[in-house]
Amino acid sequence: MNSGQATFSSAVADFEAAVRARDSQASGDAFGLLQQTFHDADDAELAAVAPRLATLLPEVPPGPRSVVAVVIGAAVERGADPLACAPTVLAGVGEALAGAEEFTTRWAATGGGDLPDPEHSDPEDAVFDRVGQPATEAWWTLPQWEMAAVAVLNHKPVRLALPDRAALIDAAERVGDATGGGLKYLRYMLAVLDDEPLVVLHRESGTGYRVRISGLGDNFQLHTLLAGELVGGGHVPGTAPSDLAVAVCRAGTGDTDTTGSFNLVAPDGTWIWNEGIPADIPVVDGVRLLVLDPPPYERAWPAGRLFSNMPGDLVLEAALPASEAAEWLAKTAPAKDV
């Protein structure tokens, strides 16, 4: 079939047949058409076809597999069923992380030096010879696997159903550390908390609150939503964020800046940085415990979501009785100087 006649559905059908027949020439041709026709597919076509691609993914040769995963992720972003598409994508992410970790180990063992940048270079024969093909392919395809993983993990049901999340987090942290802080989006997404209870203490007023959070990508988002509920709701003094700032931190769209209302502090007095994530908040007596102190300086940032396709939620469930708030505050230390 030529590209002028091909549809995304027909390209996927040809690709399925060629991959299962192990016909490299035909699968290469169909893979090219699959990429060409994706953007012309409507949402109904993607919804019908993307789960088939996800089922096929483990059989796709390593070369194009990560690109097919990106196509599946893009289809999910356009409405394909995330639960049907996610399992093989995330299994592929786990395999890629294992291969990438092997790459870093072998790279160090065979001379070390700066790790090659997979986003701005192509693997050379010398790299294949030095490290081996599977590990090299895993290293060079990590950016595609990260993109595909984030696309499916934007959806709360996928995150809640994710098996072996701790193992994926550990692997992503190890590989990220080896690259000097890479894989930020994958690491942050894997650490997203859902239906997570949080005790929040406002030290100045001596009040405390129980909240529940889901889908918050970073502490900028958490900070803005907390201020919206507590300051905007009249529970604590301060300047509340605008309605637009709160909306874009949930699921809305828009462009606005907001100003910090608090300093986020851990129970031991260390600062919880806005650049961090809610999972950084320590657990005390079985629940995450966060202290709000006055901001030491004025700080503004663009309101919004680190992951624009992931809705965020923060629910104020209850104000604590004064005696319970005092008990929690007794377990905290004053904020430390940075």
Q: Is the separation of the CB atoms in 137 and 62 below 8 Å?
A: yes
Q: Do 70 and 172 lie in a common domain?
A: yes
Residue 86 in domain: yes
3-state secondary structure of 283: strand
d(CA 257, CA 177): 32
The pLDDT assigned to 180 comes to: 79
Beta-carbon count within 10 A of 15 CB = 25
Exposed/middle/buried for 172, CB within 10 Å: 0-12, 13-18, 19+? Answer: buried
Last residue of a domain, one of 190, 219, 239: 190
Average pLDDT across each block of 10 residues of the chain; the chain has 338 residues. List them in order: 72 95 93 93 94 97 94 96 97 96 90 82 78 89 96 97 93 90 94 98 97 98 98 95 98 96 97 97 98 94 97 98 98 90
Residue 137 in domain: yes
Q: Do 103 and 224 lie in a common domain?
A: no
Q: Do 208 and 293 lie in a common domain?
A: yes
Q: Which domain holds residue 294?
A: 196-329
Residue 283 C-beta-side C-alpha neighbours within 13 Å:
6
The pLDDT assigned to 178 comes to: 86
The pLDDT assigned to 190 comes to: 97
3-state secondary structure of 145: helix
Residue 10 in domain: no
Residue 36 in domain: no
Residue 141 in domain: yes
Q: Which two tokens stand for residue 79?
A: 């409405």
Helical packing angle, 62-77 and 43-56, nearest 10°: 150
Q: Do 48 and 185 lie in a common domain?
A: yes
Please give the distance of CA 333 from its chain centroid, rounded to a whole number: 32
Q: Do 181 and 46 lie in a common domain?
A: yes
The pLDDT assigned to 4 comes to: 53
Q: Do 52 and 176 lie in a common domain?
A: yes
Q: How far apart are the first and last CA of the chain?
A: 65
d(CA 186, CA 146): 6
Q: Do 166 and 304 lie in a common domain?
A: no
d(CA 66, CA 72): 10
Please give the distance of CA 1 from its chain centroid, rounded to a whole number: 38
Beta strands 207-214 and 257-259 are unpaired
Candidates 272, 313, 275; CA nearest to 290 is: 272
CB neighbour burial string for 324-338, b if at least 16 within 10 angstroms, e if fewer: ebeebbeebeebeee
Q: Do 209 and 290 lie in a common domain?
A: yes
173-187: pLDDT as tens digits? 999 998 878 899 999
Last residue of a domain, one of 190, 210, 245: 190
The pLDDT assigned to 228 comes to: 98
Residue 13 in domain: no
Q: Do 60 and 79 lie in a common domain?
A: yes
Q: Do 60 and 82 lie in a common domain?
A: yes
Domains identified in the chain, total number:
2
Exposed/middle/buried for 253, CB within 10 Å: 0-12, 13-18, 19+? Answer: exposed
Q: Do 78 and 150 lie in a common domain?
A: yes
- For tokens 């409405």, the residue is 79
Last residue of a domain, one of 146, 167, 190: 190
Q: What percent helix, strand, coil does the chain show, rounded to 5?
A: 50, 10, 35
Q: Is the separation of the CB atoms in 186 and 306 below 8 Å?
A: no
The pLDDT assigned to 305 comes to: 97
Candidates 257, 264, 269, 323; CA nearest to 293 is: 264
How far CA 190 is from CA of 147, 157, 186, in Å, comes to 13, 13, 6
Residue 116 in domain: yes
Would you give the DSSP letter of residue 86?
H
Question: Which pTM does this prediction carry?
Answer: 0.93
The pLDDT assigned to 183 comes to: 94
d(CA 34, CA 42): 14
Q: Which two tokens stand for residue 337?
A: 């100087």
The dihedral built from the CA positions of residue 164, 167, 171 and 174, taken in this order, carries a sign that is positive
Q: Is the separation of the CB atoms in 292 and 223 below 8 Å?
A: no
Residue 338 in domain: no
Q: Do 305 and 208 lie in a common domain?
A: yes
Would you give the DSSP letter of residue 105?
H
